Structure 1
Amino acid sequence: MSFNSIYFVPLALAGLLALAPLSTVQAEQAQIVLGASVQLTGPIANTGRYYPDAYKLAVEKINAAGGLKVGGKTYKLALKLYDNQSDVNLGVRQYTQLVSHDKVNFLLGPYGSNFTVASSAVAEKYKVPMVEGGGASDEIFSRGFKYIFGTLAPGSGYFRSTVAMLTKLHPKPTSVALLCADDSFDVTLQKHTGPMLEKAGLHVVMNQRYHTNSTDFSALLSQIKSKKVDAILVGGHETEILNFLRQAKSLNVSPKMYAFTVGVPSEDFRKALGKDADYAFGMTAWLPSKALKDRWFGDAESFAAEYKTKYGYEPDYHAASGAAEVETIANAIEKANTLDPKKVRDAIAASNFDSLYGRVKFSPSGQIDLDQIVVQVQSGAVRPVFKGGAFIGHAQYPMRPWSSR
């Protein structure tokens, strides 16, 4: 796909969204346009960038393989992307612009559950299928919507593998603190993880929320230190996790372990923290592997290599999930053999195929359910540790105190 088949919209956005793309598409080329509002700038752009980058690479790969054949005609995919500047309300207006004015064929998702909860209502209103890989909150899929599909596992179960691992560590943690942001995903996470910990026989001494985009965790960390908590589970965005760990070191808060929902699998996380990233546990539903076969990339390892070459940084599960969004729509279009939104929607719902991300098969609510792999940063590298109720690698536990590193 040439650069001319991607629309990039400027950052500034007037109230009526009277925006023109920075580049134009050759009119004679038959195209299927996928639209999305993504975080190119703003507080969560560091993770948000995985999505436009993955979208572009997947579209290029599909087009390089000949595009899509629909009704005897060959189409190339094109993208139209807006920058929502990490603003939920702006994102909703942009999705409305995409379907009502730009007339894109299908929608890809933003990053973040709050964004997806809001923008999926636009897809439902206009009956334009949206496949998203950036929002995992159960709230997105509990409203009976028919036009939203997600390639992330339910947020309610994100810490399931971590909790199972806690029960098998030696010595077993005797006290746990659960800290979650107050966005849609983390509220879901907190609601289900607390009872999960208690059912596992773990003593929850703190179960608290903090404001999304918080930068000061000193009060929470002081409580953790005073209670001598063994294990700390934190849900939030990567920037929040980075701030939390830096302040934990500054205050010398050294439990037996830290575990986080995001950040740990990311190359940027390790670069930002250096050796201070060691011992941190995280989770991922995806690791690059030749075993994950894919129609367009060959396998997940090949996808990861191409992604790193093209963008200069390693993909994590966000990028793989984003690429799977594009592949899901492409596969459904060919199965439906039409661009009719309702028929493509039905084909998406019936998806059952192997992708670089894993098997794409949606539940009746529209969400994939994949096991989380517990990973840990060990000597600057991400190592798989626990999956499916059993250790698959060595866990460095207990964590070495900050003062002795």
Structure 2
Amino acid sequence: MKSRPQVRLIPVLAAVAVFTMSVSFWATACAEDVIKIGAAVSLSGKFAREGEFLKQGYDYWKDAANAQGGVKIGDKKYKVEIVYNDDESDPQTSARLTEKLITEDKVKFLFGPYSSGIATATAAISEKYNMLTMVPMATADSIYQRGYRYVFCPSPLASTGLYPILDLIGTLEKRPATMAIVGPDSLFPNITAEAAQKKAEEMGIKVVYLGKYPQSAADLSSVATAVKGANPEAILCTGYTQDSILLVKSMRELQVNPKLVGLAMSIAVPDFRNALGSAANQVMGTDYWVPTLTYTGIIVKDSDTYAKTYKEKFQKDPTYQAASGTAAGIILQMAVESAGSLDTNAVREALLKLKGQTFYGDFQFNEQGVNTAAKLSVTQIQDGQPKVVFPIQVRQTPVQYPKAPWN
């Protein structure tokens, strides 16, 4: 008699077990229908603004891909989920969070941070765990000279950061004979400056001043004074947005009047023009991407479409950081779909075989993860508006040279 209650419990326990297994199976199936990607990006600290644009670029791709049903692998489509961590613009924090994304959050792929200095730290973690990583804003050449197999950059490398302006100078009838090159003392700017100096000297241009300043500098009047003393006909700066603005302001105030001012940054970003007003006119810069370029591709039809739909989504104009993040997602999607698999090595092999174009530009990767097809353009502010002036085949208008005095 005492055994009867136990007999009655057997069907109940069996039902509970079946239900538990069903829920577990359903949860696993749902998890398998999602591609989880991790990203440690700067949402606070000195790179917060750039990090915000990069994150929005990643999110644009995620939402666009999901709106089209997701990433197609065989006959199945997978939705995209991105897990974000704020690296506070700190390399060590970013490396720690990247490892957490891999070991605790169990992401399948990684999107990289903003800046080469931070990405240098995170790339080592990606490689340690054989985690394929798209790093659109990690352009320091040194990252791709370490034998890494799983780090891919869709953007042109830092060493080419001022090449298009120097190439433009080579087309001028009366090109500048002397040049100053200045920039912050950090990884990307130093690589860019060294490469620009070498190329300028090979062109027969004498570099009369080569200067560095602290990345955190809040006053560049001493740099502008030193440049004025060297009296170069052209000035190139390898800085970021805020220090480039400071330098131009200082040159205007001190009446440093070269024939050409070129920056290794996008002058098409609204911050640059808003901060400088008319002082921005005839300054030129190199661009990873601008809305007037005519590249086309999947997910995003073209640059003009991207600019319009991005503004509708985020209530602001896109920057090259945002565009690079979206392009990174599109290229990863193309590689996954081409591989027909989520296996890291299969996707890596697919990336190496792919050759194509997105709205951001051409791409073809070598074994080091470098996009050998990537190109920079040159934009000049003319009458308050950014205009592509080089390469000649894609320019909107001829370059204005020599630059008029600030007054």
Shared fold per TM-score greater than 0.5: yes
Aligned positions of 1:373-384 closer than 5 A: 373-384=377-388
Whether the aligned pair in 2 keeps the contact of 1:176 and 1:206 (CA below 8 Å) is yes
Moved over 4 A (4+): 388-392
Residues 1:285 and 2:288 are matched in the alignment: yes
Taking structure 2 as the reference length, what is the TM-score of the superposition?
0.88
Distance 1:271 1:390, change over 3 A: closer
Whether the aligned pair in 1 keeps the contact of 2:57 and 2:326 (CA below 8 Å) is yes
CA distance in 2, matches of 1:273, 1:121: 39
Query: What residue is the counterpart of 2:15 in the other structure?
Result: none
> Structure 2: any 5+ residue segments left out of the alignment?
1-26
3-state DSSP of counterpart to 1:220: helix
Whether the aligned pair in 1 keeps the contact of 2:294 and 2:359 (CA below 8 Å) is no
Whether the aligned pair in 1 keeps the contact of 2:293 and 2:394 (CA below 8 Å) is no
Given candidates 395, 402, 405, the residue that maps to 1:398 is: 402
Query: What residue is the counterpart of 1:351 in the other structure?
Result: 354
Once the two structures are TM-superposed, the CA of residue 272 in structure 1 deviates from its matched residue by 2.1
Query: What residue is the counterpart of 1:12 in the other structure?
Result: none
Larger radius of gyration: 2
Q: Deviations over 1:371-405 (max 9, x none)?
A: 22111011111111121699763222222222x2x
Residues 1:95 and 2:98 are matched in the alignment: yes
Aligned positions of 1:7-156 closer than 5 A: 28=30, 30-156=33-159
CA distance in 1, matches of 2:71, 2:167: 43
3-state DSSP of counterpart to 2:72: strand
Distance 1:78 1:227, change over 3 A: same
Query: What residue is the counterpart of 2:211 in the other structure?
Result: 208
Instruction: Report the residue type matching 1:188 in the other structure.
Output: I
Deviates more, 1:241-250 or 1:118-127: 241-250
Residues 1:165 and 2:168 are matched in the alignment: yes
Aligned positions of 1:293-312 closer than 5 A: 293-312=296-315
Once the two structures are TM-superposed, the CA of residue 163 in structure 1 deviates from its matched residue by 1.0
Deviates more, 1:135-144 or 1:37-46: 37-46
CA distance in 2, matches of 1:399, 1:134: 30
Once the two structures are TM-superposed, the CA of residue 289 in structure 1 deviates from its matched residue by 4.8
Once the two structures are TM-superposed, the CA of residue 41 in structure 1 deviates from its matched residue by 1.8
Instruction: Report the residue type matching 1:335 in the other structure.
Output: S
Whether the aligned pair in 2 keeps the contact of 1:131 and 1:148 (CA below 8 Å) is yes
Query: What residue is the counterpart of 1:177 in the other structure?
Result: 180
Whether the aligned pair in 1 keeps the contact of 2:381 and 2:387 (CA below 8 Å) is yes
CA distance in 1, matches of 2:124, 2:42: 19
Once the two structures are TM-superposed, the CA of residue 206 in structure 1 deviates from its matched residue by 0.8
Q: Deviations over 1:142-175 (max 9, x none)?
A: 1110000001112112211211222333542121
Residues 1:385 and 2:395 are matched in the alignment: no
Distance 1:26 1:233, change over 3 A: farther
Whether the aligned pair in 2 keeps the contact of 1:36 and 1:109 (CA below 8 Å) is yes
CA distance in 1, matches of 2:60, 2:244: 28
> Structure 1: any 5+ residue segments left out of the alignment?
1-24
Query: What residue is the counterpart of 1:4 in the other structure?
Result: none
Query: What residue is the counterpart of 1:18 in the other structure?
Result: none
Instruction: Report the residue type matching 2:320 in the other structure.
Output: Y
Residues 1:338 and 2:341 are matched in the alignment: yes
3-state DSSP of counterpart to 2:276: helix
Once the two structures are TM-superposed, the CA of residue 138 in structure 1 deviates from its matched residue by 0.5
Query: What residue is the counterpart of 1:232 in the other structure?
Result: 235
Q: Percent identity?
A: 29
For this pair of structures, how many residues does the alignment match? 379
Once the two structures are TM-superposed, the CA of residue 181 in structure 1 deviates from its matched residue by 2.1
Residues 1:251 and 2:259 are matched in the alignment: no
Whether the aligned pair in 1 keeps the contact of 2:298 and 2:330 (CA below 8 Å) is no
Once the two structures are TM-superposed, the CA of residue 44 in structure 1 deviates from its matched residue by 2.1
Query: What residue is the counterpart of 1:220 in the other structure?
Result: 223
Whether the aligned pair in 1 keeps the contact of 2:387 and 2:396 (CA below 8 Å) is no
CA distance in 1, matches of 2:64, 2:89: 28
CA distance in 2, matches of 1:129, 1:232: 39
Whose helix proportion is higher, 1 or 2? 2
CA distance in 2, matches of 1:280, 1:41: 30
